[in-house]
Amino acid sequence: NAGVTQTPKFQVLKTGQSMTLQCAQDMNHNSMYWYRQDPGMGLRLIYYSASEGTTDKGEVPNGYNVSRLNKREFSLRLESAAPSQTSVYFCASSRLAGGGTDTQYFGPGTRLTVL
């Protein structure tokens, strides 16, 4: 039981390049999330998927797109990377989207630098 896995762990891009961050969970969770974490800013929600087949914008969606490929996998795409997207990206999953005591479990993170 690996929990939430993310690839790659590290990435350096040049401005304008594109890339996709991959996330997978093996806990049979319905909901998945993408966050970015910047110093002093805490975790900010980029996009989330409440269930397979649905995606919604979070707090900071500009410059990103997502795909919920199936129940296990949720990818984040940067179409044209900008230095402002330099951050640590975390994927998370939970049994249900919000409410009650639904707990989110986090992947190990991807450290992205855009030059």
Q: Which residues bind another protein (CB under 8 A)?
A: 33, 40-45, 48, 58, 90, 97-109
| Rounded least distance, CB 93 to another protein, Å | 12
The residue among 53 and 100 lying less far from another protein, judged by its C-beta, is 100
The residue among 87 and 104 lying less far from another protein, judged by its C-beta, is 104
| Rounded least distance, CB 109 to another protein, Å | 5
Tell whether the torsion through CA atoms of 85, 87, 93 and 96 is positive or negative.
Answer: negative
The residue among 17 and 22 lying less far from another protein, judged by its C-beta, is 22
Buried b (16+ CB within 10 A) or exposed e, 47-75: bbbbeeeebeebebbeebebebeebbbbb
The residue among 1 and 14 lying less far from another protein, judged by its C-beta, is 1
| Rounded least distance, CB 69 to another protein, Å | 21
DSSP state of 2: -
Residue 83, helix vs strand vs coil: helix
Spatial separation of the C-alpha atoms in residues 56 and 29, rounded to whole Å: 17
